[in-house]
């Protein structure tokens, strides 16, 4: 692969600007590329690596007095929230007054009105997907819109080791495998959850069958492990992971980082800091993806924005979007809409005019949006710590993507630091999950540092347990023997669609008595939007909205443990366990029996919510985003 050609191509295209963005790129931030000598890529990359965006990553919530047209930014911290929306904060009354000219458009957004109703209510008709269960109907339409690949995860991040509850030894060497990893959120959560004094050697095998996923994971590890300034490392990785547009300076950094790694003339693993490293086995096609990372030659600003708009605002998906908005508080509707318009993870009021090139890694080689039309970064993480991080950095809960920004920034800084302090060896592979177990046994991955004798402390199989995927039989038969012979070793995975297949698996199929019981509790506790306890409504249409939304949310408090046991029985689990010498765990030490219950909860426990605020925070974002409720993912492990 010709780095020089890529570089020249890249440099030619830096003049590309878009007429579509409401926030114009700052012409002064694109850098002066004429200074770089194309024939000496090493020196050019060194210069690229030193480039920093005009506006540094915010440490605390910045004052929202930003005049994008004039590239003017108030440098102070935003401490006084706009009382009407709480989406933005200012340093002073003056700044708030000066900014009202711009902010009023958001603050008086139609979606922020308390009277806002979904279009199907206003037009007195049934919503388009009223009778479809979550999980069917909509994904098919979504696939027509885009590629439907998941780059941000479908269940919140899991700490796969949970050292304190398992090995409980900070010097223990550990080996974990993520055989259908998706993005890196489980890896980040697992490593960040280790104790500060962890001194063991950690081996992490990361595999996914989808090439764009693997190429992105490699780039993120390279960024976090090789950018010397942790703050910059975290910020570049954050936006490369989650933002549809990134600063041109970050693009240059990413291009330099990825290219330098690919141009290394040694077979030694790539160092990630002084102690950690990464080895990989990837096909040549991956180069096509790496070549595009950080380069705007592959997709123009205008094409990227057009494609993002096309997917996010498709008219026939209006009811689907309204169903999401209808569950949210008014300011959250505006926050979600903002992300669907610009796709940048930053505080609502932060300057973003310098995000002036597309993040090509989120688009296919032919320029299509890779994910679904409802893909959302909030899907991959627990909401509690997100709101906490927001509070710690001065962001209001209403500014949910601002909270997410500070959460991710904290997490990725910690992760970057741990790459430097801990001894971690990453091995990145891309193949089918079952094939991976075979090539380990055949000793093909020895050069990578994974000999045939390797046994793992944890094997995370994601939802390939699902019947329509690999299925539990093949997963246990092929991966069971690769589990370490130890009391703490575990295979962790989840089912995402079992509840639709199993009688009584979800609340809707459980019958009228069960449904009525749940609805009565919801009404009694005031958990319907706009329906007060006792069922009093000021507008009869609110009842319709409430009932419609409850169809999804009932599952959160519905006990489906019996149905799950029956499901496992029908999967022939007993025989499988005998054959593979595995055991189904009754006491959980890694993941609980179901999402949002404590680790030591009984199998039939359902999540509890102390108040309606915690109910809203735990259920609304997630349920508004998940097409499958978190509750349907019965997590399962064995030893």
Question: Which residue number, 77 or 172, has a Cβ lying nearer to Zn ion?
Answer: 77
Question: Which residue number, 69 or 366, has a Cβ lying nearer to Zn ion?
Answer: 69
* 635 binds Zn ion per the rule CB under 5 A: no
Helices (H), 467-511: 472-479, 498-501
Question: Which residue number, 3 or 91, has a Cβ lying nearer to Zn ion?
Answer: 91
Among 4, 20, 84, 263, binds Zn ion (CB under 5 A): 84
315 near 374, Cβ under 8 Å? no
Question: Which residue number, 78 or 212, has a Cβ lying nearer to Zn ion?
Answer: 78
Q: Using CA atoms, how far apart are residues 61 and 406, in angstroms rounded to an integer?
A: 9
165 near 590, Cβ under 8 Å? yes
* 91 binds Zn ion per the rule CB under 5 A: yes
* 329 binds Zn ion per the rule CB under 5 A: no
* 213 binds Zn ion per the rule CB under 5 A: no
387 near 332, Cβ under 8 Å? no
Q: What is the DSSP string of 517-546?
A: HHHHHHHHHT-STT-BTTTB-SSHHHHHHH
* 60 binds Zn ion per the rule CB under 5 A: no
Report angle CA 416, 421, 425 to the nearest 5 degrees. 80
Span near Zn ion by CB under 5 A; candidates 65-73, 152-160, 383-391, 468-476: 65-73
Span near Zn ion by CB under 5 A; candidates 59-67, 151-159, 358-366, 399-407: 59-67
22 near 308, Cβ under 8 Å? no
* 76 binds Zn ion per the rule CB under 5 A: yes
Q: What is the DSSP string of 132-187?
A: SPTTSSHHHHHHHHS----SS-SS----S--GGGTT--TT--EEEEETT--SSHHH
Q: Using CA atoms, how far apart are residues 638 and 624, in angstroms rounded to an integer?
A: 32
Among 85, 221, 470, 582, binds Zn ion (CB under 5 A): 85
Q: Using CA atoms, how far apart are residues 498 and 635, in angstroms rounded to an integer?
A: 11
Span near Zn ion by CB under 5 A; candidates 93-101, 143-151, 526-534, 572-580: 93-101
* 107 binds Zn ion per the rule CB under 5 A: yes
Among 73, 82, 158, 476, binds Zn ion (CB under 5 A): 82
Question: Which residue number, 6 or 82, has a Cβ lying nearer to Zn ion?
Answer: 82
Span near Zn ion by CB under 5 A; candidates 75-83, 382-390, 419-427, 451-459: 75-83
Q: List all residues 6 or more positions away from 491 whose beta carbon is below 8 Å from its beta carbon.
A: 458, 459, 460, 461, 475, 476, 479, 480, 483, 582, 637, 638
* 244 binds Zn ion per the rule CB under 5 A: no
State the virtual CA torsion across 24, 29, 30, 35 in degrees, nearest 10.
Answer: 160
- State both tokens at 511: 């019958």
Number of residues that bind Zn ion (CB under 5 A): 10
Shortest CB 83 distance to Zn ion, Å: 8
The crossing angle, in degrees rounded to 10, of helices 318-326 and 540-553 is 90
Question: Which residue number, 115 or 611, has a Cβ lying nearer to Zn ion?
Answer: 115
Q: What is the DSSP string of 353-395?
A: TT--EE-GGGB-TTS-B-S-TT--GGGGS-HHHHHHHHHHTT-
Question: Which residue number, 92 or 313, has a Cβ lying nearer to Zn ion?
Answer: 92
Among 3, 23, 63, 278, binds Zn ion (CB under 5 A): 63
Span near Zn ion by CB under 5 A; candidates 64-72, 263-271, 327-335, 610-618: 64-72
Q: Using CA atoms, how far apart are residues 272 and 420, in angstroms rounded to an integer?
A: 7
Shortest CB 96 distance to Zn ion, Å: 8
Span near Zn ion by CB under 5 A; candidates 102-110, 243-251, 320-328, 373-381: 102-110
* 61 binds Zn ion per the rule CB under 5 A: no
* 66 binds Zn ion per the rule CB under 5 A: no
* 89 binds Zn ion per the rule CB under 5 A: no
Q: Using CA atoms, how far apart are residues 235 and 91, in angstroms rounded to an integer?
A: 24
**Residues found near Zn ion in the complex (CB under 5 A):** 63, 65, 74, 76, 82, 84-85, 91, 95, 107
């Amino acid at each position: 692969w010709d780095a020089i050609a890529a570089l020249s191509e890249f440099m030619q295209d830096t003049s590309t600007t878009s007429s579509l963005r409401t926030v114009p790129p700052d012409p002064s931030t694109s850098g002066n590329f004429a200074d770089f000598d194309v024939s000496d890529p090493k020196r050019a990359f060194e210069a690229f690596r030193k480039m920093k965006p005009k506006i540094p990553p915010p440490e605390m919530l910045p004052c929202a007095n930003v005049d994008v047209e004039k590239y003017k930014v108030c440098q102070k911290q935003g401490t006084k929230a706009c009382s009407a929306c709480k989406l933005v904060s200012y340093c002073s009354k003056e700044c708030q007054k000066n900014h009202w000219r711009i902010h009023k458009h958001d603050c008086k957004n139609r979606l922020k009105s308390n009277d806002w109703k979904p279009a199907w209510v206003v037009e007195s008709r049934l919503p388009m997907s009223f009778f479809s269960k979550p999980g069917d109907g909509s994904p098919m339409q979504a696939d027509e819109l885009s590629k439907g690949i998941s780059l941000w995860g479908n269940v919140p991040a899991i700490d796969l080791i949970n050292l304190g509850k398992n090995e409980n030894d900070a010097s223990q060497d550990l080996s974990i495998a993520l055989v259908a990893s998706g993005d890196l959120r489980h890896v980040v959560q697992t490593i960040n959850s280790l104790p500060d004094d962890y001194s063991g050697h950690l081996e992490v095998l990361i595999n996914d069958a989808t090439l764009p996923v693997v190429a992105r994971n490699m780039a993120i590890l390279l960024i976090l492990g090789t950018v010397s300034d942790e703050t910059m490392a975290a910020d570049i990785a954050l936006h490369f992971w989650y933002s549809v547009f990134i600063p041109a300076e970050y693009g240059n950094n990413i291009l330099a980082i990825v290219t330098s790694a690919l141009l290394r003339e040694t077979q030694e693993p790539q160092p990630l800091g002084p102690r950690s490293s990464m080895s990989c086995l990837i096909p040549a096609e991956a180069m096509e993806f790496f070549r595009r990372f950080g380069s705007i030659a592959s997709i123009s600003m205008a094409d990227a924005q057009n494609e993002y708009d096309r997917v996010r605002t498709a008219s026939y998906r209006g009811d689907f979007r309204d169903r999401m908005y209808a569950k949210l508080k008014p300011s959250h509707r505006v926050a979600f809409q903002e992300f669907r318009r610009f796709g940048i993870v930053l505080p609502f009021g932060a300057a973003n005019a310098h995000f002036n090139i597309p993040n090509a890694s989120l688009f296919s080689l032919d320029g299509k949006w890779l994910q679904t039309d409802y893909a959302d970064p909030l899907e991959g993480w627990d909401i509690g710590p997100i709101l906490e991080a927001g509070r710690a950095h001065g962001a209001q809960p209403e500014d949910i993507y601002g909270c997410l920004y500070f959460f991710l920034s904290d997490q990725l800084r910690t992760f970057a630091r741990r790459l430097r302090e801990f001894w971690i060896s990453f091995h990145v592979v891309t193949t089918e999950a079952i094939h991976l177990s075979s090539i380990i046994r055949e000793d093909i991955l020895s050069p990578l540092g994974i000999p045939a004798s390797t046994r793992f402390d944890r094997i995370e199989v994601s939802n390939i347990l699902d019947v329509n995927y690999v299925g539990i039989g093949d997963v246990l038969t092929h991966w069971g023997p690769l589990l370490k012979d130890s009391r703490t070793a575990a295979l962790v995975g989840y089912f995402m669609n079992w509840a639709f297949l199993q009688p009584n698996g979800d609340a809707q199929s459980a019958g009228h008595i069960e449904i009525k019981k749940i609805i009565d509790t919801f009404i009694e506790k005031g958990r319907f939007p706009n329906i007060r306890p006792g069922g009093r409504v000021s507008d009869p249409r609110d009842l319709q909205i409430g009932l419609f939304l409850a169809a999804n949310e009932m599952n959160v408090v519905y006990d489906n443990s019996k149905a799950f046991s029956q499901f496992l029985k029908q999967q022939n689990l007993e025989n499988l366990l005998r054959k593979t010498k595995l055991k189904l765990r009754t006491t959980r030490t890694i993941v609980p029996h179901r999402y949002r219950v404590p680790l030591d909860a009984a199998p039939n426990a359902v999540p509890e919510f102390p108040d309606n605020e915690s109910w809203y925070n735990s259920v609304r974002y997630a349920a508004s985003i998940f097409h499958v409720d978190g509750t349907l993912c019965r997590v399962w492990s064995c030893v």
